[in-house]
């Protein structure tokens, strides 16, 4: 009977020792993880801080990599004439595209999104907008339905095309494009 009590006591002692050792290992792993997390956080803070401005007299000025100026009308560096703008409006964003009178705008799809290009090289084109004799026309390729809305009147664009006026709205799939002529 004494041997049985000694065996049970030894077994209980082994179980308690195993639990204590596993708890100590778990605590060490947690401490190592916290130390690594703190080191990563500190290195990220250093990377995100801008050491370029430290100690410089112009540190209070925001960094501006380039200057942008917007103008409408005739371009000084290229051929003159009108320009037109397409403003894409969908659920997520508003994006503007600017074209000269000599350029043709190709509207198509890429990876499920509507895209506007200046050339048609092997792309999935839905329609194109071009200027002929001072008037802008839209012509579809027949892959998707293209609709033009002008003053609450809507028309489906056929193969003959539709003459566009400033303020017209072009509906392709779930995206709306606003057409504007810039003088």
Give tens-digit pLDDT for 124-153. Answer: 888 899 888 888 999 988 778 889 998 888
Q: What's the confidence (pLDDT) of residue 77?
A: 46
Q: What's the confidence (pLDDT) of residue 80?
A: 54
Report the C-alpha gap between 139 and 127 in whole angstroms. 5
Residues linked to residue 89 through DSSP beta bridges, in sequence order:
94, 176
Token digits for 165? 């006026």
β pairing state of 124-132 and 113-117: unpaired
Q: What's the confidence (pLDDT) of residue 65?
A: 57
Q: What's the confidence (pLDDT) of residue 110?
A: 81
pLDDT band for 78, please (50, 70, 90 cuts).
Answer: very low
* Polymer length of the chain: 183
Report the C-alpha gap between 26 and 35 in whole angstroms. 14
More confident residue, 53 or 162: 162
- Cβ-Cβ contacts under 8 Å for 77 (sequence gap 6 or more): none
Tokens 């009147």 — which residue?
A: 153
Q: What's the confidence (pLDDT) of residue 50?
A: 56
Tokens 């609450």 — which residue?
A: 152
Q: What is the pLDDT of residues 32-67, one digit of tens each?
A: 999 888 888 887 777 777 555 555 555 555 555 555
Token digits for 8? 């049970």
Query: Which segment of 5-14, 20-29, 46-55, 98-107 scores lowest on mean pLDDT?
Result: 46-55
Token digits for 56? 């410089």
Q: Is the pLDDT of residue 71 over 90?
A: no
Q: What's the confidence (pLDDT) of residue 54?
A: 54
Count the Cβ atoms, other than its own, within 10 Å of residue 146.
24
Q: What is the pLDDT of residues 89-130, one digit of tens each?
A: 767 777 888 888 888 888 888 887 778 888 777 678 888 998
């Amino acid at each position: 009977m004494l041997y049985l009590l000694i065996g049970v006591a030894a077994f209980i002692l082994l179980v308690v020792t195993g639990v204590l050792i596993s708890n100590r290992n778990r605590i060490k792993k947690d401490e190592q993880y916290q130390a690594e997390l703190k080191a990563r956080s500190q290195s990220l803070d250093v990377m995100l801080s801008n050491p370029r401005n430290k100690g410089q007299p112009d540190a209070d000025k925001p960094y501006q990599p380039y200057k942008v100026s917007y103008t409408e009308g005739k371009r000084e560096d290229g051929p003159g004439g009108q320009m037109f703008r397409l403003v894409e409006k969908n659920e997520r964003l508003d994006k503007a595209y600017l074209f000269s009178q000599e350029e043709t705008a190709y509207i198509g799809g890429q990876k499920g999104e509507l895209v506007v290009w200046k050339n048609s090289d092997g792309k999935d084109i839905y329609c194109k907008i071009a200027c002929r004799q001072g008037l802008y026309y839209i012509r579809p390729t027949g892959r998707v339905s293209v609709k033009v809305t002008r003053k609450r009147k809507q028309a489906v664009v056929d193969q003959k095309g539709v003459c566009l006026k400033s303020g017209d709205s072009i509906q392709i799939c779930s995206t709306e494009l606003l057409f504007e002529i810039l003088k």
